[in-house]
């Protein structure tokens, strides 16, 4: 909002100066507007003078003087400009210009904070993509929160987003699942020596077995599977168990307010011949070779440190081969931009998948797809790490957290750190109703403003609609101006969060905005005998509540009116 105006003002000054023969560097580089670390140095800063000084043959400070001169003195946006250091230009925005932004925030309503930089271009985001072998664990939960919020940020910046879940329903883990359910069907438990060596021991396996023996029907996304009830039919058990756990995971995600547009099964890549086709193409292109009874991919041709096995000596494909086939399908579906949100344990996959896609010679860019990898989560209760779940047995499930601390707190906590940072999820803190709990602190700011409105209405005051500039000119205390400045930063924060795949930027912003509001409220009386000032401050708080709600909505978190 304000940053773009400053950039436009500088761009205009550059062009005017060039036309006047005062500047000779054309075309000019993109004008980048930053925010000084020290507020005393202005609201915004720019280093354009330093960028073009060499081409101008002048000292950066002299170039900065020229730019400032062509900014003009007749604009109402700035109160003054200063040159700092080797040639930075610091901009001080006029209070009236800050106050005017409140009217724009009101006019945009629920759309304030949204941008159109994506220009309705298509992007596919794959996230969660858990093996259907059990309930979603906390690692999946963090991936779900980060992936879903990335989708929301991309949508908020104008992208046409498709959300996709890739089910790894093939391979040894699925066989272990089927054997575990079969054992339960036969009355064999984990303590029995006949129990599968790599079997799944959670209580949910017993539930799946009971449902299978009862010949229940499971509706799971696009499939309807009815159990045969025969404990000897391993294929039937496998199909039913996968359907059961797909449904289980879908219920977990719905409780988390996470939805998907497309579900893709790994098994379909084999049944449709896509994996075999990819292997054929890699051979034809000369990037695959036989050695020691295995089929290898020359990933070293594409920057890997060594070649990788595609098909083992026993005839089974390694895990990254179907991944190549899957991503080729994404490309063929028209997704020239794809983002994969996965756990950090997938780091080794990136080079292999990209190498395989390059080896197909289909015009796929080198850096495609893009990846966001999240680090592990540690759950604490009473200062001690929580490692097991009553339902899953060996790990804490996403549903455990949602049931105990609520969806809003779970989502906020999962995204409040940069994805590549390890996360400590403190259950006690997430349930605490105090300023130390960040999600409570933010939501309470919204509820507190709603309470102020109720109190004001009882005393005959309401926030004005579309007030005149003179009516909001009284909003000039340091706390009021700082609050307004923070409100205007929402669009930039959303844009930066989307560009960098960093949802935590929005949680930081909300925490800062809530703190700014609480600080303003503690120092300034909103409802007073000064009627014009009361109405102006109510108007400011209406815009603050609106901004808090808009930002929380992008995160998929509620903005309660009472707490």
Q: Give the CA diameter of the chain.
A: 90
Tens digit of each residue's pLDDT (9 = 90 or more) over 134-151: 999 999 999 999 999 999
The CA distances from residue 268 to 126, 179, 241, 546, in Å, are 17, 22, 17, 46
What kind and span of H or E run contains 27?
none
Domain shared by 343 and 453, yes or no:
no
User: Does residue 302 form part of some domain?
Assistant: yes
Total domains in the chain come to 3
Angle between helices 531-554 and 95-108 (to 10 degrees): 60
Can you list the positions of beta strands (E) in 300-381?
308-311, 338-343, 370-374, 377-381
Residue 333, pLDDT score: 96
Domain shared by 439 and 539, yes or no:
yes
Domain shared by 438 and 547, yes or no:
yes
Domain shared by 104 and 26, yes or no:
no
User: Does residue 47 form part of some domain?
Assistant: yes
Rg (CA), the chain: 29
User: Does residue 489 form part of some domain?
Assistant: yes
Contact in structure between 318 and 264 (CB atoms under 8 Å) = no
pTM > 0.75? yes
Residue 392, pLDDT score: 66
Domain shared by 532 and 447, yes or no:
yes
User: Does residue 190 form part of some domain?
Assistant: no
Contact in structure between 359 and 285 (CB atoms under 8 Å) = yes
Residue 489, pLDDT score: 97
Q: How far is Cα of residue 223 from the mean position of the Cα atoms in its chain?
A: 29
- Report the C-alpha gap between 312 and 297 in whole angstroms: 12
- Which residue segment(s) compose the domain that 359 sits in? 272-374
DSSP letter (8 states) at residue 261? S
Residues facing 137 on adjacent strands: 397
Contact in structure between 261 and 166 (CB atoms under 8 Å) = no
Domain shared by 43 and 87, yes or no:
yes
Residue 73, pLDDT score: 63
Contact in structure between 124 and 341 (CB atoms under 8 Å) = no
User: Does residue 176 form part of some domain?
Assistant: no
Residue 220, pLDDT score: 64
The closest of 64, 56, 65, 77 to 9, measured between CA atoms, is: 77
Q: Residue 79's domain is classified under what CATH number?
A: 3.30.1360.70
Tell me which of 343, 374, 405 is where a domain ends.
Answer: 374
User: Which tokens belong to 249?
Assistant: 């995971």
Tell me which of 359, 374, 389 is where a domain ends.
Answer: 374
Residue 391, pLDDT score: 66
For residue 291, how many other CB atoms are within 10 A of its CB?
A: 9
User: Does residue 282 form part of some domain?
Assistant: yes
Enumerate residue ranges in the chain where pLDDT < 50.
none
- Report the C-alpha gap between 452 and 541 in whole angstroms: 9
Query: What dihedral angle (degrees, nearest 10) is formed by the CA atoms of 515, 520, 522, 524?
Result: 180
Domain shared by 361 and 470, yes or no:
no
Residue 390, pLDDT score: 63
Domain shared by 47 and 105, yes or no:
no
Residue 439, pLDDT score: 98
Domain shared by 517 and 537, yes or no:
yes
Tell me which of 35, 60, 93 is where a domain ends.
Answer: 93
For residues 473-492, one letter each, b for 16 or more C-beta atoms within 10 angstroms of the residue's C-beta and e for the rest, the string is ebbeeebbbebbbbbbbbbb
Domain shared by 14 and 109, yes or no:
no
User: Does residue 502 form part of some domain?
Assistant: yes
User: Does residue 170 form part of some domain?
Assistant: no
Q: Residue 450's domain is classified under what CATH number?
A: 1.10.730.10
Q: Residue 318's domain is classified under what CATH number?
A: 3.40.50.620
Question: Alpha-carbon torsion 285, 288, 290, 291, what sign?
Answer: positive
The closest of 520, 513, 518 to 550, measured between CA atoms, is: 513
User: Which tokens belong to 51?
Assistant: 């960028």
Residue 305, pLDDT score: 87
Domain shared by 46 and 21, yes or no:
yes
Domain shared by 33 and 104, yes or no:
no
Tens digit of each residue's pLDDT (9 = 90 or more) over 375-408: 999 999 999 999 876 666 778 999 999 999 999 9
């Amino acid at each position: 909002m304000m940053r773009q105006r400053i950039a436009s003002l500088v761009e205009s000054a550059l062009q005017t100066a060039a036309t006047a023969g005062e500047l000779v560097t054309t075309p000019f580089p993109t004008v980048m507007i930053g925010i000084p670390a020290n507020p005393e140095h202005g609201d915004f800063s720019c280093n354009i003078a330093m960028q073009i000084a060499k081409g101008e043959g002048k000292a950066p400070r002299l170039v900065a003087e020229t730019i400032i001169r062509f900014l003009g003195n007749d604009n109402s946006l700035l109160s003054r400009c200063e040159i700092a250091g080797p040639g930075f230009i610091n901009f001080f925005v006029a209070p009236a210009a800050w106050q005017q932004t409140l009217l724009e925030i009101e006019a945009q309503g629920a759309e304030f904070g949204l941008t159109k930089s994506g220009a309705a271009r298509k992007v596919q985001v794959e996230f969660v993509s858990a093996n259907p072998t059990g309930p979603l664990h906390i690692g999946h939960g963090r991936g779900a929160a980060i992936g879903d919020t990335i989708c929301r940020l991309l949508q908020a910046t104008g992208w046409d987003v498709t959300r996709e879940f890739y089910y790894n329903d093939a391979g040894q883990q699925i066989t272990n699942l089927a054997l575990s359910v079969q054992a339960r069907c036969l009355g064999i438990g984990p303590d029995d020596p006949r129990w599968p060596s790599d079997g799944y021991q959670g209580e949910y396996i017993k539930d799946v077995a009971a449902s299978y023996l009862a010949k229940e029907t499971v509706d799971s996304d696009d499939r309807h599977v009815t159990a045969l009830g025969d404990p000897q039919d391993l294929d039937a058990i496998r199909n039913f168990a996968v359907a059961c756990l797909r449904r289980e995971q879908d219920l977990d995600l719905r409780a988390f307010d996470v939805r998907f547009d497309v579900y893709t099964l790994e098994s379909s890549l084999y049944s449709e011949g896509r994996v075999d086709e990819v292997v054929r193409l890699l051979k034809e292109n000369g990037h695959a070779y036989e050695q020691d009874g295995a089929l290898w991919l020359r990933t070293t041709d594409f920057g890997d440190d060594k070649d990788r096995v595609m098909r083992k000596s026993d005839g089974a494909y390694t895990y990254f081969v179907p991944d190549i086939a899957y991503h080729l399908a994404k490309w063929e579906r028209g997704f020239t931009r794809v983002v994969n949100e996965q756990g950090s344990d997938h780091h080794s996959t990136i080079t292999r998948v990209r190498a395989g896609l390059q080896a197909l010679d289909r015009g796929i860019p080198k850096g495609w797809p893009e990846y966001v990898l999240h680090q592990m989560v540690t759950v604490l209760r009473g200062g001690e790490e929580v490692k097991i779940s009553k339902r899953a047995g060996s790990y804490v499930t996403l549903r455990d957290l949602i049931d105990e601390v609520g969806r809003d707190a779970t989502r906020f906590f999962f995204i409040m750190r940069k994805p590549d940072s390890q996360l400590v999820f403190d259950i006690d803190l997430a349930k605490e109703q105090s300023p130390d709990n960040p999600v409570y602190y933010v939501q309470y700011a919204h509820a507190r403003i709603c309470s102020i409105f109720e109190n004001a209405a009882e005393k005959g005051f309401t926030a004005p609609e579309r007030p005149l500039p003179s009516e909001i000119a009284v909003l000039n205390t340091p706390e009021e101006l700082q609050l307004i400045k923070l409100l205007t930063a929402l669009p930039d924060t959303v844009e930066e969060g989307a560009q960098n795949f960093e949802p935590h930027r929005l949680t930081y912003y909300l925490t800062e905005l809530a703190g700014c509001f609480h600080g303003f409220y503690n120092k300034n009386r909103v409802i007073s005998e000064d009627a014009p000032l009361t109405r102006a401050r109510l108007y400011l708080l209406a815009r603050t509540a609106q901004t808090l709600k808009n930002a929380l909505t992008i995160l998929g978190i509620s903005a309660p009116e009472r707490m």
